[in-house]
Structure 1
C-alpha cells in the first residue's frame, strides 16, 4: 500500500490537464496525507517500515499539504 501511495503522491498531471484533473490530483495528495496521519496514530505503525519511510518523505516534500490536513483534523 505504501508503494501505491508513493506512486500517487509523486505523479504529476499531464501538461494539457484541465482544472478538474489538477483538483483530483490535489485531493488525492490530501487523502493520502490524511491516511498517513491516521496510520501514524495507530500503535502498529512501528512495524510498518515502508509507511514510516513514506511518512518521512511526506513530512519533507509535502509539508504544506500535511499541515493543511492536520489543521483540517483539528477544526
Structure 2
C-alpha cells in the first residue's frame, strides 16, 4: 500500500460478525480524502477527485499472489 499509493497514513481495522472469519480493512488515507483525518465510515466533509492509478488492481493482485499464493487475490 505504501509503495503503490504513498498515503499520509494507513488505517487498519479488524471486524467480526456472527460468522467465524477474519475481516480486515487496510485503508490508505490521504489529506484530501472525504473524511480525513476522521474514520472512513464518518459522513464526508469534502469531496475528492482522487482516482486509482492506472493498472493498480492488477499490480496489487500480482503482489498479493507473489506474497501469499494464487488464492490471495
Which interval holds the TM-score relative to the shorter structure? under 0.3
**Which one has more relative contact order, counting CA pairs under 8 Å at least 6 apart?**
1
- The structure richer in helix per residue is 1
Q: TM-score, normalised by structure 2?
A: 0.28
Bigger-Rg structure (1/2): 2
Name the one with the larger strand percent.
Answer: 2
